[in-house]
Amino acid sequence: MDQATPVTTTGSVGPWHWEAFPFHAGEVTVDQAHRYCHGIATGHYENFPVFLRLFSREQRMALAAVYAYARTADDLADEPVFSAFADAALVSWRAQLRDCYAGKAAHPIFIALRWATERFPIRQEHLEALLDAFEQDRVKSRYASWTELHDYCARSAEPVGRIVLAVLGRSTPENEAHSDAICTALQLTNFWQDLSVDAKRGRIYLPARLMAKHAVTEEDLLAGRIVPGVAPLIEEVCDYTDGLFRKGAPLSAALPMPGKAYIALVRFGGTTILGMARRYGPMLLTERPRLGVVPYLASFWKRSRRPA
């Protein structure tokens, strides 16, 4: 499909989809759709990693479309401004995804995503799994065990890594297993980093059985109350997460450039944030650690210069 060719749009498009898009349905070109996705990917408060410049132009365009798809769905599920119609919006989003794979596109994100799926083996089931996780967040805010958390991460995090491997052309069972470990570790690290933020939303991702083991209650977490068991609880979940990062470590060596560099950067970023969370310890109940891009890159450069 030529990027200057207008795309015929079909289907029902909710009014919230077009608020920031200056074109009318039926007049959107693929190039405009890609620029729309790029704007979401680079303009969101959770900025699209600058490291994607390592990829080819087509790979970047495909990954930006995937990011815009997931970011928008996540916002529809999670942002208070959408709460009155979030469930209906997610149903519409899923229907438009299925239309996309059937060869139809109504929204600029799906126009760009259709272009991406025609060039890379991005599986529909992985994009649907992300929606399953966003829908789960709307009805489930407690997790009893590591098993339940892994089940959630299998839909919220692991599909992202598998999509990246598909865009890189490196989807093998072994690579996917290592990617799953890294992506789950990244998701868990985000949970520990956001303990104070999630508590304000009434969400607790720490396994309930582990909390009981350390005599930490839901009330303690929701109130930001630091009791004696919080420190060993944080230490244990950080140890567990670090084990997953180590399990996924062979992935970087298994990939050629640019995948090798990208996975190394992503994994290093995750382990760095995890290390910050470990140092914060009980303070995670009241503060959120942050890592800026410049300090991160400086730290990565210093680490890469050390002898193996």
Q: What is the pLDDT of residue 195?
A: 97
DSSP 145: S
Q: How many CB atoms lie within 10 A of CB 46?
A: 9
Q: What is the pLDDT of residue 285?
A: 96
Type of residue at 221? L
User: For residues 105 and 111, is the Cβ–Cβ distance under 8 A?
Assistant: yes
DSSP 8: P
Q: What is the pLDDT of residue 211?
A: 98
Can you give the pTM of this predicted structure? 0.85
Q: Alpha carbon of 35 to those of 41, 65, 95, 198, 284: distances in Å?
A: 10, 10, 23, 32, 37
Q: Which segments of the chain belong to CATH 1.10.600.10?
A: 22-134, 140-308
User: For residues 208 and 143, is the Cβ–Cβ distance under 8 A?
Assistant: yes
Burial class of residue 44 (count of CB atoms within 10 Å of its CB; 0-12, 13-18, 19+): middle
Distance in angstroms (rounded) separating the CA atoms of residues 59 and 47: 18
Q: What is the pLDDT of residue 245?
A: 98
Q: What is the pLDDT of residue 50?
A: 55
Q: What is the pLDDT of residue 106?
A: 81
Q: What is the pLDDT of residue 172?
A: 97
Q: Fold for domain 140-308? A: Farnesyl Diphosphate Synthase (1.10.600)
Spans of the chain below 50 pLDDT: 1-25, 45, 47, 293-305, 308
Q: What is the pLDDT of residue 124?
A: 98
Q: What is the pLDDT of residue 31?
A: 93
**Sequence-separated (6 or more) residues with CB below 8 Å from residue 295:** none
Q: What is the pLDDT of residue 292?
A: 56
Task: Decide which of 3.40.50.11440, 1.10.600.10, 2.60.40.10, 1.10.150.120 is the CATH code for 22-134.
Answer: 1.10.600.10
Q: What is the pLDDT of residue 305?
A: 44
